[in-house]
Amino acid sequence: MRSIFVTRKLPENSLGRLAGHFALTIWQDETPPNRSDLLEKVAGKDALLCLLTDTIDQAVIEAGSKLRVISNYAVGYDNIDVEAATKMGIPVGNTPDVLTETTADLAFALIAAAARRIPEGMSYAREGRWKTWSPTLLLGTDLHRATLGIVGMGRIGRAMARRARGFSMTVLYSDPGAAPGLEGAEKVPLESLLERSDLVSLHAPLTDETRHMIDDGALKAMKRHAVLVNTARGALVDHEALHRALAEGIIQAAALDVTDPEPLPADHPLHELPNCLIIPHLGSATLATRTKMAQIAVRNLLAGLEGRRLPHCVNPEVYEKK
Ligand code: DGY
- Ligand 1 site-directed mutation target among 50, 51, 75, most atoms within 8 Å of CB: 75
The answer to whether 304 and 69 are in contact (CB under 8 A) is yes
Tens of pLDDT, residue by residue over 158-199, are: 999 999 999 999 999 999 999 999 999 999 999 999 999 999
Topology alike, domains 3-97+287-319 and 100-278: yes
User: Catalytic: 117?
Assistant: no
Please report, as a single letter, which amino acid is at residue 196: R
Burial of 176 (0-12, 13-18, 19+ CB in 10 A): exposed
Q: Does the beta carbon of 52 lie inside 6 Å of ligand 1?
A: yes
CA dist., res. 156 & res. 307, Å (int): 31
The closest-lying atom of ligand 1 relative to the alpha carbon of residue 73 is 2
- The pTM assigned to this predicted structure is 0.96
Q: Residue 295 corresponds to which amino acid? A: Q
- Specify which residues 228 forms β-bridges with: 200, 254
| C-alpha angle 209-54-277 in degrees, rounded to nearest 5 | 65
Please say if 281 is a catalytic residue: yes
Q: Where are the domains of the chain?
A: 3-97+287-319, 100-278
Q: Distance (Å, rounded) from C-alpha 125 to C-alpha 131?
A: 9
- Mind listing the pLDDT tens digit of every residue in the chain (322 residues)? 999 999 999 988 889 989 899 999 999 999 999 999 999 999 999 999 999 999 999 999 999 999 999 999 999 999 999 999 999 999 999 999 999 999 999 999 999 999 999 999 999 999 999 999 999 999 999 999 999 999 999 999 999 999 999 999 999 999 999 999 999 999 999 999 999 999 999 999 999 999 999 999 999 999 999 999 999 999 999 999 999 999 999 999 999 999 999 999 999 999 999 999 999 999 999 999 999 999 999 999 999 999 999 999 999 999 986 6
Ligand 1, atom 7: nearest CA belongs to which residue?
284
Q: Any idea of the CA torsion for 35, 40, 42, 46, to the nearest 10 degrees?
A: 180
DSSP 69: E
Determine the distance separating the centroid of ligand 1 and the alpha carbon of 130, expressed in angstroms: 38
- Of 12, 191, 248, 262, the catalytic one is 262
List own/partner pairs for 239-244 with CB under 8 A and 24 or more apart. Answer: 239/268, 239/270, 241/212, 241/214, 241/215, 241/216, 242/214, 242/270, 242/276, 243/269, 243/270, 243/273, 244/216, 244/219
Atom of ligand 1 nearest to the CA of 77: 3
User: Which CATH superfamily, name and number, covers 3-97+287-319?
Assistant: NAD(P)-binding Rossmann-like Domain (3.40.50.720)
State the closest ligand 1 atom to the C-alpha of 76, by its place in the atom list counted from 1.
3
- The CA distance from 108 to 117, in Å, is 14
Which residue is closest in CA terms to ligand 1's atom 2? 74
Q: Which helix (H) or strand (E) holds 186?
A: strand 186-187
Assess whether the C-beta atom of 99 lies below 6 angstroms from ligand 1.
yes
Whether 14 is in the pocket of ligand 1, judged by its Cβ within 6 Å, is: no
Please determine, looking at this structure, whether the domain spanning 100-278 carries the CATH number 3.40.50.720. Answer: yes
Give nearest CA residue, ligand 1 atom 4.
74
Residue 234: what are its φ and ψ, rounded to 5°? -55, -40
Q: Is 76 in the pocket of ligand 1 (CB under 6 A)?
A: yes
Please indicate whether residue 233 is annotated as part of the active site.
yes
Q: Residue 67 burial by CB count (10 A; 0-12/13-18/19+): exposed, middle or buried?
A: buried
